[in-house]
Chains A and B, each alone.
Chain A
């Protein structure tokens, strides 16, 4: 090899990925070795001190909390569905209920709002008919 190592050759020796020829030259050339040592010193000075990563940060990265939103949305949807089913489910009634409600309506007594089977917001004769119809329906 003629002359000294070029900058990339010097750096290759510093980094440990030089060719055999480059290494051989560096071993024999004090000037190149001094430059390589200077590069090593510079690399050490440029290398920052270790930044401590708090364990809590690592834990958050490695075990990220699962978002509660999808679960909450699914639970809410299920709750609403159950509520709707409960409200709309066919009520088991007896012909005696029709008679009892009719009697209370006739007497001007208060009637439980749950007897509003047709869902029109009030309990009246049409609900009595509905109770009667359901009580004798085959299914």
Chain B
């Protein structure tokens, strides 16, 4: 495990150190594929998005400068690629995640059931907070919305979810 920070790895990689890219990949590839699955609902498509994401990073190498957290930088890239791929897949052949034998345990429809009643934007911030582990500022940066908007969305979403927790646990 490379002890350097993401920013240090990014600098080293821009300077031509290939192993720094390997370290970035080792650190984030599982999260990227998991996030991609959230939007594609299909393992193969998620793996394709993983490749596309790191290919995109490769193309950015010469000017790559990490000004925020790595997840904040990667989130919109993965989301955009995954949504595009999912849209394309839907046009070509409707996919049922239940048919994917290698699908992870929490399929998108189960997530939707757990977050039922929340708007899409509320679901998104809850997942970014609960699953991706991003802090509120990082969520705001990734979504390019004010911090207050993130707080408001998360507050209302958690208020609703709180009501579903059984008492006297």
Q: Is the interface of A mostly helix, strand, loop or mixed?
A: helix
CB contact between B51 and one of A7, A35, A61 (< 8 Å): that residue: A61
| Complex: chain A residue closest to B135, CB-CB | A17
Within 8 A of B (CB), among A49-104: 49-54, 57-58, 60-62, 64
Please determine whether B151 and A39 come into contact, CB atoms closer than 8 angstroms: no
With A34-B168, A58-B29 known as contacts, the answer to whether A48 contacts B38 (CB < 8 A) is yes
Query: A38 at interface (Cβ–Cβ under 8 A)?
Result: yes
| Complex: chain B residue closest to A57, CB-CB | B47
CB contact between B33 and one of A15, A45, A53 (< 8 Å): that residue: A53
CB contacts (< 8 Å) of A10 on chain B: these are 158, 162
Interface string of B135-162 (1 = CB under 8 A from A): 1000000000000000100110011011
Please determine whether B104 and A48 come into contact, CB atoms closer than 8 angstroms: yes
With a 10 A CB-CB cut-off, give which of A7, A15, A60, A61 has the most chain B CB atoms.
Answer: A61
CB contacts (< 8 Å) of A7 on chain B: these are 154-155, 158-159, 162
Closest Cβ–Cβ distance, residue A8 to chain B (whole Å)? 5
Query: B121 at interface (Cβ–Cβ under 8 A)?
Result: no
The number of residues on chain A lying at the interface, defined by a beta carbon within 8 Å of a beta carbon of chain B, is 30
The number of residues on chain B lying at the interface, defined by a beta carbon within 8 Å of a beta carbon of chain A, is 44
A37 to B131, CA, bound (A): 15
Query: A129 at interface (Cβ–Cβ under 8 A)?
Result: no
Listed in ascending order, the chain B residues whose CB lies under 8 Å from chain A are: 21-22, 25, 29-30, 33-34, 37-38, 43, 46-47, 50-51, 54-55, 58, 102, 104-106, 111, 114-115, 126-127, 129-131, 133, 135, 151, 154-155, 158-159, 161-162, 164-169
A54 to B158, CA, bound (A): 36
> What are 5 A-B residue pairs whose CB atoms fall within 8 Å in the complex?
A7-B154, A15-B133, A47-B106, A51-B30, A58-B25
Please determine whether A38 and B51 come into contact, CB atoms closer than 8 angstroms: no
CB contacts (< 8 Å) of B158 on chain A: these are 7-8, 10-11, 39
With A10-B158, A49-B104 known as contacts, the answer to whether A61 contacts B50 (CB < 8 A) is yes
CB contact between B37 and one of A45, A48, A60 (< 8 Å): that residue: A48
CB contacts (< 8 Å) of A53 on chain B: these are 29-30, 33, 47, 50
Please determine whether B130 and A46 come into contact, CB atoms closer than 8 angstroms: yes
CB contacts (< 8 Å) of A15 on chain B: these are 129, 133, 135
Listed in ascending order, the chain A residues whose CB lies under 8 Å from chain B are: 6-8, 10-11, 15, 17, 34-35, 37-39, 42-43, 45-54, 57-58, 60-62, 64
Closest Cβ–Cβ distance, residue A61 to chain B (whole Å)? 5
A54 to B33, CA, bound (A): 12
